[in-house]
Amino acid sequence: MCNNCKSEEIYKDIIDEDIDISLLFPVIEKYGKVKGSLINILQATQDIYGYLPLQALNYIADNTENKRSVIYGVATFYTQFRLKPIGKYLILQCHGTACHVNGSKEVSKAICEELNIEPGQTTEDGLFTLEDVSCLGCCSLAPVIMINGEAYGNLTPSEAVKVIRNIRKEDIA
Amino acid sequence: MKVLVGLGSCGIAAGGKKVLQSITDSIEKNNLDITIEPTGCVGMCFYEPLIDIIDGDKKYTYGHVNAKIAEQIVESHLINGQPLDEYIIYTNEKPDAYVKNQLKVALENCGIINPEKIEDYINVGGYKALEKVLKSMTPEEVIEDIKISGLRGRGGAGFPTWFKWDAARKSPGNEKYVVCNADEGDPGAFMDRSVIEGDPHKLIEGMIICGYAMGASHGVVYCRAEYPLAIERLNLAMEQAIEKNYLGENILGTGFNFDLRIKMGAGAFVCGEETALIESLEGKRGMPRLKPPFPAQSGYWRKPTNINNVETLANVSWIISHGPEKFAEIGKDKSKGTKVFALSGKIKNGGLAEIPMGMTLREIIYDIGGGIKENKKFKAVQLGGPSGGCLPESLLDTPVTYEDLNKTGAIVGSGGMVVMDETTCIVDVTKFFLNFTCNESCGKCTYCRVGTKRMLQILEKITAGNGTMEDLDELEELALSVKDGSLCGLGQTAPNPILTSLKYFRDEYIAHIVDKRCPAKKCTALLTYSINKDKCTGCTLCSRKCPVNAINGTLKNPHEINQELCIKCGNCHSVCRFDAVEII
């Protein structure tokens, strides 16, 4: 908790759960002494845990020259960083200009309805996390979504739903 | 014989890897002595997946290939020597209009060489310019060459490149940095990704030459994390360049040292601004610094730093090896050389096109891009992303140069060119851009932080049908204030979409405000859904899909929408198989 204002406000975005902190040791070993590498540390942390757990952030603060406030500031400034765990499949919905004029809104609506979540949320079964991104750089295939690094282009609302149902089917199989 | 498979990000997304696998399998199965290699993006994204078959001096390009067609191609073309005409989109003897009207400098090797092999780059004359620079030119001569060429920044502002190099060179200090801005954040632009994915050595060579000219021995590429393939190929290229002694210590025995590393961005549009990029490189929140001092005097770790965009640096080796005069011959007035544009939106042939500066927008959109999808009516072309503007049909004959485009209120920018047809609502698109800049504003300057939000709210009010004519004046006033009151390029240019659309498409705003009508039928609050009784078959599908039970009717009888209950979600329109739901 913040010692000045006793505010709980900051913690509402952060999940505090037990993690294996030893996974972070090599990251601190590699970047701890390199000045200006906070973003690299956070990227490596997110690669390990899938998000930025509170314990990990505190550990980074205690073992590098970065204050907790600075770390929280950086972690919330960049869209890449997440303070909550994500599902097994991360769906990035492109909302770039080309996707926008080619109907990304309708595609997004269909996906939200299929998964029954809003962008930024994870499905209850922990399978899918949905996020909006500004541009994936595959504009000629608009509208595009990317699922765990693989891009799906030229989508219609019904095709997008099909893609998701297929993944769900394969996951069960 | 050699087979090339286009494996840029877009090629892979379209299924390029499956095609590669299929061809490799067929070649192995038939014991053919044919090399098969991946290559970068040739720019014709609308034909992906693409493969090239090179047979002596003949080259055949196949488009829209899938695994099955690939097998047929192997059988007919590679085994029996019969090119499959039905899938060939062009040959080197009969080039397609998309290719014919372009002039490639920065993209000259993309889609031609294997980006994962340094030998391929060297075979097409790669690293010759670096050798020439290091062995026979002084740094001043290099800068003079760049000055003669007239090269200007390709990332947005169009600042003369030689001037930045020269300023960084003249700044005191031994430790200097070359930074490449590969944080391509403009929605609708992907040329930098293509250069790095398709020809990474060209960027590396340009950066080393820049380092030599300004006296820097360290380089950093700031690349966005959304481009994993680009980062992978650049890493590989760097390893190969070190092995061949083009990079590292005592390069080619000349005593010049240059090291290079990649720093991944973490997703913030404002980091495309050079001082914000430097803050981010230092591991901080990407918030812009006050200028002056300029990065050339005090940049990365307060050392003299030169920041250039990927495409700018990709032109450097060409200028050195072909001569700066040759580069200066291309283009018009003060805009020399070529510019790569990313054509997308409602255009038939979307992809990358590198054109000599001075070509008109009409030539780019119609001669290269093939015109509008489904032959609909052209409405506007959006240039320069969220910092640019929408231009109407009457300005299509504007030549693409920095000066001519600035006069219209749009900018060359990073080269995104999004084409819109009659079904695109300009007010809605403007709202889209403001939503983008409002989200991406770093929050440092009040005008940008609050002003973009206020402008967005006004646009939301207009698209919801609650706008007044006074709102337009307020929008204009706010736009001009935000321009003046912001520190960096993001805030200074964020109002451009509003100012250009008010200038060229004011009647569309008025239609929303006065007539409560959206001419493009996009703004849902202003639409009315109704069922055409003659077309409705009474299938009951719409009634079942309506989330608020606003559709009444019985089986096999025409249905009707209760306008008081209708929430205008559009479900009925999208599910109807008989086009019976009309939007008014």
pLDDT digits (tens, 9 = 90+) for B308-334: 999 999 999 999 999 999 999 999 999
- pLDDT at residue A12 tops 70: no
Q: Which of A25, A51, A77 is the last residue of a domain?
A: A77
Cα–Cα distance for residue pair B351/A136, rounded to 1 Å: 14
The reply to whether A111 and A63 lie within a common domain is: no
Whether A65 is covered by a domain: the verdict is: yes
* A115 and A161 co-located in one domain: yes
Fold of B2-95: Glutaredoxin (3.40.30)
Q: Indicate which CATH number applies to the domain containing A161.
A: 3.40.30.10
- Position B227 confidence tier, pLDDT thresholds 50, 70, 90: confident
CATH code of the domain made up of B432-513: 1.20.1440.230
What confidence tens digit (pLDDT) does each residue in B418-463 have?
999 999 999 999 999 999 999 999 999 999 999 999 999 999 999 9
Contact across the interface for B9 and A141, Cβ inside 8 Å: no
- What is the pTM (predicted TM-score) of this model? 0.92
Give yes or no for A141 touching B (CB within 8 A): yes
ipTM (interface pTM) = 0.88
Do the chains contact at A74 and B284, CB–CB below 8 Å? yes
Whether residues A100 and A65 share a domain: the answer is no
A30 occurs within a structural domain: yes
pLDDT digits (tens, 9 = 90+) for B282-300: 999 999 999 999 999 999 9
Q: Domain range holding A112?
A: 89-172
For residue A6, pLDDT beyond 60: no
Pick the residue of B220, B232, B285, B414 with the most A CBs within 10 A to test the interface with A by mutation: B285
**A4 belongs to a structural domain:** no
Structural contact between residues B53 and B89, judged by C-beta atoms closer than 8 angstroms: no
A105, A135, A156, best to mutate vs chain B, most B CBs in 10 Å: A135
Are residues A102 and A56 both part of a single domain? no
Q: Are A69 and A99 members of one domain?
A: no
Is the pLDDT reported for residue A22 higher than 70? yes
pLDDT surpasses 90 at A173: no
Q: For residues A129 and A133, what is the distance between their CA atoms, to the nearest angstrom?
A: 13
CA distances from B234 to B194, B230, B238, B290, B548 (A): 12, 6, 6, 32, 53
Please tell me the predicted confidence (pLDDT) of residue A1: 45
Judge whether A101 is closer than 8 Å to chain B, CB to CB: yes
Query: Touching check for A53 and chain B: CB below 8 Å?
Result: no
pLDDT digits (tens, 9 = 90+) for B388-405: 999 999 999 999 999 999
CA–CA dist B235, B305 (Å, integer) = 22
Instruction: Enumerate residues 6+ apart whose C-beta is below 8 A from B7.
Output: B16, B17, B20, B38, B39, B40
- Give domain status of residue A1, yes or no: no
> For testing the chain B interface, which of A100, A108, A154, A158 should be mutated: the one with the most B CBs within 10 Å?
A100
Q: Which fold has domain B118-325?
A: Rossmann fold (3.40.50)
Please tell me the predicted confidence (pLDDT) of residue B53: 93
Reported as a pLDDT band with limits 50, 70 and 90, residue A8 is low
Distances (CA, A) of B529 to A101, A102, B553, B566, B578: 21, 21, 15, 8, 15
> Which of A77, A100, A132 marks a domain boundary?
A77
Contact A138 B351 (CB under 8 A): no
Structure letter (DSSP) for residue B42: -
* Mean pLDDT of the region B24-42: 91
Residues of chain B above pLDDT 90, percent: 85
The predicted-structure confidence for B61-83, as pLDDT tens digits, reads as follows 999 999 999 999 999 999 999 99
Same domain, yes or no: A103 and A161: yes
pLDDT at A148 over 80: yes
Other CB atoms within 10 Å distance of the CB of residue B504 = 21
Q: Do A137 and B350 touch (CB under 8 A)?
A: no
**Averaged over A74-86, what is the pLDDT?**
92
For residue A3, the model assigns a pLDDT of 56
* A31 and A106 co-located in one domain: no
Cα distances from A87 to residues A78, A84, A132, A150, in angstroms, run 20, 10, 15, 16
Q: What is the average pLDDT across B348-365?
A: 94
Q: How big is the A-B interface in CB pairs under 8 Å? A: 142
Higher pLDDT, B92 or B373: B373
Question: Is A124 domain-assigned?
Answer: yes
* Residue A100 shares a structural domain with residue A137: yes
- Residues 202-221 on B with a CB inside 8 Å of A are none
Task: Quick: pLDDT tens for B169-204.
Answer: 999 999 999 999 999 888 888 899 999 999 999 999
- Is the backbone peptide bond immediately before B49 cis, with ω within 30 degrees of 0? yes
CA distance B313 to chain A (A): 20
In CATH, what is the architecture of B528-583?
A: 2-Layer Sandwich (3.30)
From the list A40, A77, A97, which residue is nearest B416 (CB)? Answer: A97
Write down the domain spans for chain B: 2-95, 118-325, 332-421, 432-513, 528-583
Average pLDDT of chain B, as a whole number: 94
Q: How confident is the model at residue A10 (pLDDT cuts 50, 70, 90)?
A: low
A90 shares contact with chain B (CB less than 8 Å): no
Give the per-residue pLDDT at A9. 60
CATH architecture for the domain at B332-421: Roll (3.10)
Question: Considering its fold, how many domains does chain A have in total?
Answer: 2
In this prediction, residue B273 carries a pLDDT of 93
What is the sign of the dihedral through the CA atoms of A148, A169, A141 and B499?
negative
Tell me the mean pLDDT in the region B234-247. Answer: 97
Residue A46 shares a structural domain with residue A102 = no
Is there a domain that residue A110 lies in? yes
Q: Which residue has the higher pLDDT, A113 or B99?
A: A113
CB B54 within 8 A of CB B37: no
Decide if A139 is inside a domain: yes
Give the model confidence (pLDDT) of B135-146 as tens digits: 999 999 999 999
Is residue A166 assigned to a domain?
Answer: yes
Same domain, A123 and A151: yes
B187·A95 Cβ contact <8 A: yes
